[in-house]
């Protein structure tokens, strides 16, 4: 059973204060012709993850990013990858990822496979961490049966691939709150990530609702004439300042 909103409000301030705020810049939004330089910028900016989208047009009109870049990125940075499989039937290609998934988050959409627990078991066996991804229209009830398998939940703030055009509404904020409450009912820490059109304003609202990992793209650190490292530092400072004011 999903805990009520009242239950969510009873989460202690001490527990919420311990919830680290983490930034996951989406490397897809960077200058791909100079990826190594872009990654160095993220290191200087203190990024916690590098969000890496693999797409096959199931959710978007694009096909990105290639598998071959994963080991290359891992060879030049200690920042862990947060891999988002925006693909149909991920079981077809998971074996290609397993050699590179140690200490890496592998995210799978709950909407596209009937084998998600088996896939998550394979990821854990290879030393990886598991992320369940839900589109905006997907109920969080599906998480109840897979909680023992997951290390993070990624809530897409709109329809995947089109989030930047869609505003964050009260229903999505309630979904974040209810998901946070469900995750906090477990006896272990599970991260809650938000993804899609995450501007500073959206991040603040999502943080107040219980999110603690933020995928950053063109609505935040990757804007014209911006330096990603400086924008990461500023984004975190503003989020943490808001957290201090709310205590």
Confidence band of 55 (pLDDT split at 50, 70, 90): confident
Percent of the chain scored above 70 by pLDDT? 84
Query: What residue segments make up the domains of the chain, in order of their start?
Result: 27-246
User: Per-residue pLDDT tens for 94-129?
Assistant: 999 999 999 999 999 999 998 999 999 999 999 999
Supply the pLDDT for residue 87.
Answer: 87
Going by C-alpha positions, the residue among 47, 30, 80, 11 that lies closest to residue 222 is: 30
Work out the burial of residue 18: count CB atoms within 10 Å of its CB; fewer than 13 is exposed, 13-18 middle, 19 or more buried: exposed
27-246 CATH choice from 2.40.10.10, 1.10.1530.10, 3.20.20.70, 2.60.40.1120: 3.20.20.70
pLDDT tens for 222-247 read 999 999 999 999 999 999 997 545 54
pLDDT per position as a tens digit, 142-195: 999 999 999 999 999 976 555 455 678 899 999 999 999 999 999 889 999 999
pTM of the model: 0.88
CA 245 to chain centre: 25
Contacts of 188 (CB under 8 A, 6+ apart): none
How many helices (H) and strands (E) the chain has is answered by: 9, 8
Contact by Cβ (8 Å): 11, 189? no
């Amino acid at each position: 059973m999903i805990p009520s909103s009242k239950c969510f409000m009873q989460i202690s301030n001490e527990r919420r204060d311990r919830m680290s705020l983490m930034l996951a810049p989406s490397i897809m939004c960077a200058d791909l012709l100079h990826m190594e330089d872009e990654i160095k910028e993220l290191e200087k900016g203190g990024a916690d993850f590098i969000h890496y989208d693999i797409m096959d047009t199931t959710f978007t009109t694009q096909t990105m990013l290639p598998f071959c870049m994963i080991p290359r990125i891992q060879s030049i940075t200690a920042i862990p990858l947060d891999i988002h499989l925006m693909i149909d039937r991920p079981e077809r290609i998971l074996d290609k990822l397993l050699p590179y998934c140690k200490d890496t988050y592998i995210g799978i959409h709950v909407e596209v496979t009937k084998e998600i627990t088996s896939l998550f078991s394979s990821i854990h066996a290879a030393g990886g961490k598991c992320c369940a991804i839900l589109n905006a229209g997907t109920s969080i009830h599906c998480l109840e049966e897979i909680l023992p398998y997951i290390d993070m939940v990624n809530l897409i703030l709109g329809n995947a691939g089109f989030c930047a055009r869609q505003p964050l509404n009260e229903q999505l904020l309630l979904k974040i709150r209810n998901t946070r409450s469900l995750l906090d009912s477990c006896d272990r820490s599970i991260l809650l990530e938000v993804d899609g059109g995450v501007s500073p304003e959206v991040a603040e609202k999502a943080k107040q609702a219980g999110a603690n990992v933020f995928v950053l793209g063109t609505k935040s650190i990757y804007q014209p004439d911006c330096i990603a490292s400086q924008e990461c530092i500023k984004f975190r400072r503003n989020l943490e300042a808001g957290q201090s004011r709310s205590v």
